[in-house]
Amino acid sequence: MELSKYSFGVGDRFSHQGEAQLRAIIKANKAGVDVSPVWNKSNREHGIVKTKPEHVRTEADAAVKALGWDKLYFVDADHINLTTVAPFVESSDFFTLDVAAFIGDESSKEAIESFLASCEKYKGALQIPGIAEPIPVDDKLLIEIAVKFLAATEQAANIYQYLVEKKGKGNFITEVSMDEVESPQTPVDLFFILKMLADKGVPAQTIAPKFTGRFNKGVDYVGDLKQFAKEFEEDVLVIDNLSFPE
C-alpha cells in the first residue's frame, strides 16, 4: 500500500463532517492537485468524545460512497503506541506510530555501537544536495543522536512488527511521529532517524518531526517563520535524497 504524494489529514472529532471534508478534497483535485484524504483520530480524542476507532471508518466509507469518490483514501490510527494500537487494527489502514515519549530513553551499549559502525561512511563532511553547507559528522555527534533517538526508533520497529503480524506486510501505511516534544529535530537528526528506521525495516512513508515554534489547533503558527521555513525546506531535501526499503 502506497500513500499519494499529497495527502491531507482530516480530523473530524464528532463524526459529522466527513462529506464536507471530502467535498473540499474534491475541489482541490478539480483544481489540479491530486490529494488523498486521511481521516484521523487519536486514542486520546476517542476517549474525550466517547467514540471508537470503527466510527471513523464508518464515517469515511459513508462519505466516499455518498460523493462517489473513486480515488485513494485512508483511515489513520493517529498517535498510537503499543498500549493503545489494538482497537485500531481492524478499522485502520494508516498508523501514526507515536514514539516521542521514548526520545532519550536508554539503549543498549551494543545497539549504540552497531549504529556507530553502520555510520562510518557518513563521517566527515556530509553533503546533502540542496543544503548549502556540508554537515560535519563525527563520533560525538553520532553518539548524541543515538542516545537521543535510538530507543524511539526501536519502539517504532516494535509497533510496526506488531502491525505486520496483525494486518500483514504492505497492507497499511506507516507514519512515525516525534513531534509532540519541546525541542525540534534538526535536519541531520532527521537524516539519521530515517536511517535508523530503514535499518530496522520500518518503511516510513511519512514522518512528523518537531519544528521550531508551535502549531496549536485553530490559531496561527507561533514562532520564527524564517527559521521554520529553513528547517522545513532542509528536511524535505533530506527526504528527497534518501531511499527506503519496501
pLDDT, tens digit, 9 for 90 and up, residues 65-78: 999 999 999 999 99
Determine the Cα–Cα distance for residues 62 and 69; give it in Å rounded to an integer.
Answer: 10
Q: What is the DSSP string of 226-239?
A: HHHHHHHHHHHHHH
* % of the chain residues with pLDDT over 90: 89
Convert the pLDDT of each residue in 114-136 to its tens digit.
999 999 999 999 999 999 999 99
Provide the total of helices (H) and of strands (E) in the chain, helices listed first: 7, 8
Bridge partners of 222?
214
Distances (CA, A) of 223 to 70, 111, 228: 39, 36, 8
Neighbours of 4 (CB within 10 A): 16
- Which of 44, 53, 43 has the alpha carbon at shortest distance from 15? 53
Checking if the pLDDT of 243 tops 80, the result is no
- Which of 186, 187, 181 has the alpha carbon at shortest distance from 130? 187
User: Can you tell me the mean pLDDT for 175-179?
Assistant: 95
Checking if the pLDDT of 245 tops 60, the result is no
Average pLDDT, the chain: 94
Q: How confident is the model at residue 246 (pLDDT cuts 50, 70, 90)?
A: very low
The mean-pLDDT minimum among 14-18, 134-138, 189-193 falls in 14-18
Residue in the structure block whose three cell numbers are 516521542: 100
Query: How is the chain split into domains, by residue range?
Result: 6-105+150-240
CATH code, residues 6-105+150-240: 3.20.20.70
* DSSP classification of residue 150: H
Q: Which amino acid is at 82?
A: L
Q: How confident is the model at residue 180 (pLDDT cuts 50, 70, 90)?
A: confident
- pTM of the predicted model as reported, rounded to 2 decimal places: 0.94
Question: What would the grid cell of residue 82 be?
Answer: 503499543
- Which of 95, 57, 67 has the alpha carbon at shortest distance from 79? 95
- Which of 142, 209, 155 has the alpha carbon at shortest distance from 181? 209
